[in-house]
A and B are shown apart, each in its own frame.
Chain A
């Protein structure tokens, strides 16, 4: 058995890093497509990181659904013509202040709570939170009891009501199980940002920032430190990883 060629690995890694750096420079003003470096792909998931998202509602144009379509393309969920049972991992919610009539729109999805009720109530442990704060469903042990859907204050979860075809390899789905936004965990583990954030940054209003809330040098940490942000239903004390600005 021959030893792996360490040099080749190092060279390949260096090359990818350079390419990532180049992509960052080329696409970037305000948009960081490859924010975390390729080390993330092989690094173990630890609580040193807390992935989070900041959404600036003032930069979220009415009628724009780039984040939604990007999520659909990335994760393979789509309309089947049954609106009440169709899965929606992210949607645009229209908010209207009943007193003033002021209207705006906000993307809503799994808020990746620090103390997620969906995880607490799941009888099998299929709903779980990774050490880095990403809340997921283990499709292998979800029994489809839907208790997590009853418990989620954000209506973030969908139940797969019918047979699914044409699935994406990065987002396996199954009839009779529950699913929700994964923060595009496969992309994050590969050092990339979620599809919605990428799409919003490249073609939309650049309303979304994704990053490590624990890293004092991250763009998101600097942003949430510098400006007032809101966690929706903060009164419930769940400490969502998604924050909103100008809500």
Chain B
């Protein structure tokens, strides 16, 4: 049966782990959140997961190869002609990373927060709020990265990756997914009801359509360009497009810095918010 010495083996292990400096915020065990997510994923609805991946592929077919026939080659942003499909493929790759990340970081997190009560329980173990935040965000980014790998597997054989830099599109998409997962969970943690959650979708659709996805942002007047270029998806589209079309310049570093900041801000706000919600 269960034996209770004064301090048991388990308590000793748990306590040793808990003695890390800063353990009340981060115990260094975000990985166990991924383990949990894998258990949960086994029984989740695969159709929903697959549909998120299929969406950008459908856009590529309809716009890239359908409407692309009517458009012909266009200018890639640095003066070289490129097929319309090759122009929008990087944008759709960035979008698919975003969709994958947001699927988990928004609706799933919202349900766990308000109905599953999963986080309260985690925080009454010796996990800290940052373990929870980082773990959930990491799981979301894994989905985002998986979507983008899947998309790449379709795009590359079609000859839409024109140079070696294009291989870096996968790590870039992972970075983009990380950024969106991080900011997505932070925003979700402030949402109180379904109506507010719908605002997220309301914002996402125009961002998807107008972030240089289907046409270059240079068509806008100067002042609109400034706004659009500040949007995270536009940054992501530019980053992946630069890599896949081999337009490597200083801007690439700028885009990377943008996502690093996005990750840091999202992670900080999520951690603070989890603490405020469940540890007061």
Report if A and B associate in a common complex: no
Q: B residues bordering A, Cβ < 8 Å? A: none
**Chain A residues in the interface with B (C-beta under 8 A):** none
